[in-house]
Amino acid sequence: MNLYYNNKKKIHFSKMHGLGNDFMVINCIKENFILSSFMIKKLSNRYTGIGFDQLLLIEKSTNELFDFHYRIFNSNGNEVEQCGNGARCFGLFLLLKKLTNKNKILVSTKKKHLIIEFLLKNRIKVNMNEPDFKFYDFSLLKKSSCKNFSIKLHSENLICGLVSMGNPHCIIKVECIKNAPVKIIGKRIAENSMFPEGINVSFIEIINKNHIKLRVYERDVGETQSCGSAACAAVAMGIAQKLLFNIVKVELLGGKLIIMWKGFGTSLYMIGPAEHVYDGCIYI
C-alpha cells in the first residue's frame, strides 16, 4: 500500500486544446471538486504541473433548460465568464466521454448561455450570442470616433474598440501584426485601473474584408496561441465599423477560425477545431 496516496483524492482529467489555447478539463457531474486558487496555479505551471491556459469544470445544470453547466478558471485561479476555444473543447469532451448523444446542446457559463453544435472532423460551431458594445462605463474614456475610444497610457493616447462577448475585450488595429507590442501594451491595458476586473487585449491586422490576423494578450494569462472570444470580439468590432464583411477568416498564432455575424440584433457564430491531447489523473 502506498501511504502517500491514502489521504489524497484521485481526480481524472483530460488535456485538450483549441488552436494551441490549452485546457485541463475535469468532469464534476457526479462529484464536485473544489480546487483553490493556489491549487489551480500549481496545476497550471508548465514546468512542475500539468500546464494549461484555463481549467474547465463540467457540472450538472441546475436549470432543466440547459444540458450542462461549466466553469472557467484562468491559470492564476481567477474564475472568468467566457472562453470561445474552451467552449469547443468542452463540447468535444462531452462527445468523447459519451456524456451526450445530441448534435446540438444548450449550456450555461458564469454569465452566459451558449449553443454548441457538432460538425464533422472535430469541428464545432458555437453560438456566442450577440456582441455587447455597451458593457462598460464609457464616460471614463474619451470617445474618438464611431465605436472607437482613446485610452491614455503614460503620455500616449491609444485608439481602441471595446466589446464584450460575455467577457471584456479591447481591440487595437495595427499595420503589421508581427511587430505589434502585444506583451508590453497588452499587459499595460489588461492591468489598467480603468478595467478593475481586467480586460483581454487584441491586436488586429486587416488583410481584407474577409480575412484578419490577430494576436491576443489574455488577462491573467499573457499572450496565448489563440483566443476564440477575442476572435469573435475583433470581427464584431470590424463589422460594426464596416471594415469587414459578415463572414471572416481569423488567423491566430495557433490556427484559423471562421467567425460569422449578420450585425446588430443577431447572434455571432464561431466555427473551429478542438483537439484531445491525453487523459490522466492526479492526486490532491
Q: Could you give the residue numbers annotated as active site? A: 83, 227
For residues 72, 234, 125, 91, the Cα torsion angle rounded to the nearest 10 degrees is -10
Rounded to a whole number of angstroms, the distance between the first and last alpha carbons of the chain is 17
Contacts of 92 (CB under 8 A, 6+ apart): 16, 122, 124, 274, 275, 276
3-state secondary structure of 243: coil
Nearest to 202 by CA among 72, 109, 219: 219
DSSP 12-41: EEEEEEETTEEEEEEE-SSS-----HHHHH
Give the DSSP H/E element, type plus range, for residue 237.
helix 228-240
What type of residue is 11?
A: I
Answer yes or no: are the C-beta atoms of 200 and 168 closer than 8 Å: yes
Q: How many residues does the chain have?
A: 284
Residue listed under C-alpha cell 476555444: 85
Answer yes or no: are the C-beta atoms of 246 and 257 closer than 8 Å: no
